[in-house]
Amino acid sequence: MTDIDTNHIQNFLFKTLAIRGKTLQLHQAWQAMIQDRHYPAPIITLLGELTAASVLMASGLKHQGKITLQVQGSGPVTLLVVEVTHDLNIRGVAKTNQAITEQTTLDELLGDGQILVTLENTQTRSHFQSYVERQGDSIAQAFEGFFSQSEQLPSKLWLAASEHAIGGVLIQKMPETDQHDADGWARILSLTTTLTPNELTDLDTSTLLHRLFHEETLELFTAKPVQYNCPQDKARVDVMLQGMGEEDVRQLLAEQGEIVIHNEICNYHIRYNEDDVNQLFAENSIQ
């Protein structure tokens, strides 16, 4: 398989039913996002399913920008952020303040936390924020309501996540669906409900859709690649330290022996020793 085969989102259409859908599957991109994080299984499921939902939303953006999902609240999850750009670059992180076991439920993870969605349009420099209502006992059920409300179309969503892959299927009923086939929506729902988590994460799109809908007329559109992208941005850290002022930075260096900046969302460290600090402020003075 090529990379696009295992890291992509793809639209499809039931031509004779006026029902549309999307399917996504991420392998390498997801593995890169959680590499060296050592997340317990419930966190992998939560972060993975939120990442899948974010990609589904971002794939519909008509402008440059990004979708950010953030969990806010006082539950065991103290930090959870997922970002997906309009060109489907992903990154994200989760942190907890207590031990998580295999039996920890979604409600226990989130506590009173809410899922905040921020839509950023970089062309107009505007932001739109809304909360995902905690419906049902899964991320999929919560985002079904979100998609149904935001797009004004009845929507059903299936999500799955493991340490190896994440997958998802979204189907939406168009206004003219019942005119094409009064039983079409119920039939497609019934077929899709047979999906298992392993099928969502392990089967390629063509095999998955054929297994579900081989008796339906289906049009499959060009897949869009999804990739993990979290490069080190040392220049930004340089600017931050320069903004602190040379005196404060040198005092911090004297106290700690080395300045270490940890980027939590990308999980890397940038280190500054005395030579680095000398160069940093020498460059700043020249400017």
Are 271 and 180 part of one and the same domain? Answer: no
Within 8 A by CB and 6+ apart from 273, the residues are: 253, 258
Are 140 and 89 part of one and the same domain? Answer: yes
Q: What is the pLDDT confidence band of residue 1, given thresholds at 50, 70 and 90?
A: low
SS3 148: helix
Separation in Å, CA 14 to CA 24, 154, 156, 187: 17, 15, 15, 12
Are 177 and 223 part of one and the same domain? Answer: yes
Higher pLDDT, 38 or 73: 38
Residue 125 has pLDDT above 60, yes or no: yes
How is residue 133 annotated by DSSP?
P
Are 212 and 79 part of one and the same domain? Answer: yes
Question: Are 49 and 161 a contacting pair, CB within 8 Å?
Answer: yes
Last residue of a domain, one of 181, 206, 228: 228
Domain CATH for 178 = 3.55.30.10
Nearest to 234 by CA among 173, 175, 283, 168: 283
| Cα 182 from Cα 7, distance rounded (Å) | 35
Within 8 A by CB and 6+ apart from 148, the residues are: 154, 155
Residue 167 has pLDDT above 60, yes or no: yes
Higher pLDDT, 109 or 32: 32
Q: What is the pLDDT confidence band of residue 231, given thresholds at 50, 70 and 90?
A: confident
Last residue of a domain, one of 228, 243, 263: 228
Residue written as token pair 């794939």: 59
Question: Residue 74 burial by CB count (10 A; 0-12/13-18/19+): exposed, middle or buried?
Answer: exposed
Domain CATH for 271 = 3.90.1280.10
| Cα 199 from Cα 205, distance rounded (Å) | 10
Higher pLDDT, 92 or 111: 92
Within 8 A by CB and 6+ apart from 99, the residues are: none
| Cα 227 from Cα 29, distance rounded (Å) | 5
Name 272's bridge partners. 259
Are 150 and 260 part of one and the same domain? Answer: no
- pLDDT for res 287: 45
Nearest to 142 by CA among 105, 118, 114, 163: 114
Are 127 and 150 part of one and the same domain? Answer: yes
Question: Are 192 and 171 a contacting pair, CB within 8 Å?
Answer: yes
Last residue of a domain, one of 228, 251, 276: 228
Structure-token pair, residue 15: 């031509």
Tell me the average pLDDT across 99-119: 86
Are 171 and 257 part of one and the same domain? Answer: no
Nearest to 38 by CA among 82, 83, 99: 99
Q: What is the mean pLDDT of the chain?
A: 90
Question: Residue 120 burial by CB count (10 A; 0-12/13-18/19+): exposed, middle or buried?
Answer: buried
Are 185 and 270 part of one and the same domain? Answer: no
Tell me the average pLDDT across 216-242: 89
- pLDDT for res 75: 78
| Cα 8 from Cα 5, distance rounded (Å) | 6
Are 124 and 251 part of one and the same domain? Answer: no
Are 78 and 215 part of one and the same domain? Answer: yes
Tally of domains in the chain: 2
Q: Which amino acid is at 91?
A: R
Task: Please give the residue range of the domain that contains residue 263.
Answer: 234-286
Listed ranges 7-21, 89-103, 121-135; the one with the highest mean pLDDT: 7-21
SS3 194: coil
Residue written as token pair 């985002």: 143
Are 43 and 27 part of one and the same domain? Answer: yes
Q: What is the pLDDT of residues 14-51, one digit of tens each?
A: 989 999 999 999 999 999 999 999 999 999 999 999 99
Residue 2 has pLDDT above 60, yes or no: no
Specify the range with the lowest mean pLDDT, choosing from 91-105, 157-171, 186-200, 258-272: 258-272
Are 241 and 223 part of one and the same domain? Answer: no
